[in-house]
């Protein structure tokens, strides 16, 4: 019952949030006015967060209702939809530096919308939870017959005893002063990885944190 209510509410919130995001993007195309730009960025940042939360809650409720993550596999140009996610995040975080290390010319058979959702969760985590004054590096490529996508940010090292728990629902790591989130993003991201027969891992070294997706691929 509660899950059904969440599922309906989440679904109905999608359209108004999309409308807000569209308005934000229109505002950001009005370069002549600085105030409009600033307000547009705030709207873009907030509506992106709302959209991610809604998608994560919807997926969580669906999982509880017994419907796992279902995939629609297509062979779209991978780099193109990864670039769209990066562009969205850059609009929301104009001061950020995102370094791209893409070495990917093949089209990989995945659910592009799901991989975008996973990537969006990882990339906004990097900016929300990491040191956003330092660059975030995104790598994508085919290594040893698997599609690998990783996001690395600087930040306080996460103690190893917390690392595995981050992928559990409602897990929010250690110190969460003033950082609001549901703690569902990494859980959903790892569910998306598993649905693709892949994995999502985290490692922490030399002041950086890396989340890496690996999906086995069959290249034609
Ligand atoms: N890139 C990152 N750098 C540092 N800490 C992170 C990063 N990504 C996730 N975390 C930690 O893992 C927790 C869980 O992340 P997530 O499941 O996305 O939930 P939320 O972002 O809603 O808190 C975060 O609250 C944070 O403590
Ligand atoms: Mg998150």
Same domain? For 51 and 100 the reply is: no
High-pLDDT (> 90) share of the chain, %: 57
Ligand 2 mean position, distance from CA 123 (Å): 9
- For ligand 1, atom 9: residue with the closest CA: 125
Q: Which residue has the higher pLDDT, 150 or 36?
A: 150
> What's the domain range around 50?
2-64
Q: Spell out the residues 6+ positions from residue 83 whose beta carbon is closer than 8 angstroms to its own.
A: none
What mean pLDDT is predicted for residues 183-194?
94
Q: Is residue 72 domain-resident?
A: no
Domain boundary (64, 91, 112) is at 64
Tell me the average pLDDT of the chain.
Answer: 90
What mean pLDDT is predicted for residues 100-108?
90
Same domain? For 56 and 87 the reply is: no
Strands 199-205 and 136-143: unpaired
d(CA 10, CA 204): 34
Rg (CA), the chain: 17
| Ligand 1 and 163: CB distance under 6 A | no
d(CA 142, CA 71): 21
* Confidence grade of residue 94 (pLDDT, cut at 50, 70, 90): confident
Same domain? For 210 and 130 the reply is: yes
Residue 211 has pLDDT above 70, yes or no: yes
Q: What is the pLDDT of residue 43?
A: 93
What mean pLDDT is predicted for residues 186-201?
96
Sheet containing 199-205, strands listed edge to edge, beginning at the edge strand earlier in sequence: 98-103, 136-143, 146-154, 208-216, 199-205
Q: Is residue 73 domain-resident?
A: no
Same domain? For 18 and 127 the reply is: no
Token readout for 160 is 């190893």
Q: What is the CATH number of the domain that holds 99?
A: 3.30.565.10
What backbone phi and psi angles, to 5 degrees, belong to 89? -70, -35
Same domain? For 150 and 206 the reply is: yes
Counting the structural domains of the chain, the total is 2
Ligand 2 mean position, distance from CA 127 (Å): 10
Report the Cα 156 to chain-centroid distance in Å. Answer: 20
Select, from the ranges 65-79, 117-131, 163-177, the one with the highest average predicted confidence (pLDDT): 117-131
Ligand 2 mean position, distance from CA 168 (Å): 12
């Amino acid at each position: 019952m509660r899950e059904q209510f969440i599922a309906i509410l989440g679904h109905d919130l999608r359209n108004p949030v999309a409308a807000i995001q569209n308005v934000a993007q229109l505002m950001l195309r009005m370069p002549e006015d600085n105030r409009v730009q600033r307000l547009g960025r705030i709207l873009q940042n907030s509506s992106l967060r709302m959209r991610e939360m809604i998608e994560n809650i919807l997926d969580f409720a669906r999982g509880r209702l017994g419907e796992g993550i279902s995939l629609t596999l297509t062979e779209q140009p991978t780099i193109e939809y990864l670039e769209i996610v990066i562009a969205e995040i850059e609009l929301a975080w104009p001061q950020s530096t995102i370094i791209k290390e893409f070495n990917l010319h093949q089209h990989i058979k995945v659910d592009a919308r799901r991989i975008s959702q996973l990537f969006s969760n990882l990339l906004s985590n990097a900016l929300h939870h990491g040191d956003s004054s330092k660059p975030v590096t995104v790598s994508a490529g085919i290594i040893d017959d698997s599609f690998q996508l990783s996001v690395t940010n600087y930040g306080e090292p996460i103690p190893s005893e917390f690392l595995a728990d981050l992928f559990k629902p409602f897990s929010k790591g250690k110190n969460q002063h003033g950082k609001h989130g549901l703690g569902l993003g990494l859980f959903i991201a790892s569910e998306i990885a598993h649905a693709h027969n892949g994995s999502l891992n985290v490692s922490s070294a030399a002041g950086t944190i890396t989340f890496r997706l690996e999906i086995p691929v069959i290249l034609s």
